[in-house]
Amino acid sequence: MRATISHATSSLVALVLVVALLAGRSAGEQIAAPEASVQPAGAITGHADVIDGDTLAIDGVRIRLEGIDAPEAGQGCGRAHAGTWACGAKAAGALARLADGKSIRCEQRGLDKYGRTLGVCFAGERDLNAWMVRQGHAWAFVKYSTRYLKEEAAARSEKLGIWQGEALPPWEYRARRWASVEEKAPDGCAIKGNVTARGKIYHMPWSPWYAQIRMSQDRGRRWFCTEAEAVAAGWRPVNVN
């Protein structure tokens, strides 16, 4: 009887040791495992390619900076005293310099009416959306968000960037450019799909190269009514930076 109890006790001890060993191993594996990159829900992180002053792309995902509207690439703005300056190109360049060589994190805020991802993007702790408005490179897009009104007010009071002289808000600039070409475009579809050595690229009427593109179907070029239609057909937006 004593031998039986002793044997049972030994078996029980062995079982406890095995469980403890397995538990320790599991804990050890959890500690030793690489720590996962914890991101806010829906965040997109990586190297960013700047498309224009308020749009970038990370791993093929095109992200529109929410709450701001930068001048278009071909747009000029008035200087403080006389003449104009390339405010659209400057805005794209400023965003590109800010994002260059950094890991950019964009917190998704849904989709816009064109199907583009909306996001608030950061380089480290710096809010890129806020910085662009604060430096006078973009307007607060109050039609959709009032988040950056404080930054806009500060830039305006210091006459930075677009606030140094007369400047047409980009939403008005786009409307005028579209209206100027809509009647001549087939069925009012004014987006030009171009085919180049770099691939299929579409141009909005406010693209700096829009007027230079001669539409010829034998070269594979075609018209689009919306950006969503162009993207679905395999075209990508022109990168103005």
Backbone angles phi, psi at 97, to 5 degrees: -65, -35
pLDDT in tens, the chain (241 residues): 434 434 444 443 344 333 333 333 333 332 232 222 334 458 999 999 999 999 999 998 999 999 999 999 889 999 998 899 999 999 999 999 999 999 999 999 999 877 789 999 999 999 999 999 999 999 999 999 999 999 999 999 999 999 999 999 999 999 999 999 998 899 999 999 999 988 999 999 998 889 899 998 778 899 999 988 998 999 988 887 6
**pLDDT at residue 40, as a whole number:** 46
CB 173 within 8 A of CB 71: yes
Q: Mapped to the 3 state alphabet, what secondary structure does 23-65 carry?
A: HHHHHHHHHHCCCCCCCCCCEEEECEEEEECCEEEECCEEEEE
CA distance 222 to 216: 7
Name the β-bridge partners of 224: 191
Residue that is written with structure tokens 């677009």 in the block: 162
- Would you call 235 helix, strand, or coil by DSSP? coil
> CA 240 to CA 52: how far, in whole Å?
6
Specify the amino acid at residue 65.
L
CB count within 10 Å of CB 128 equals 26
Beta carbons within 8 Å of 137's beta carbon, 6+ residues apart = 53, 70, 87, 90, 91, 94, 95, 161, 162
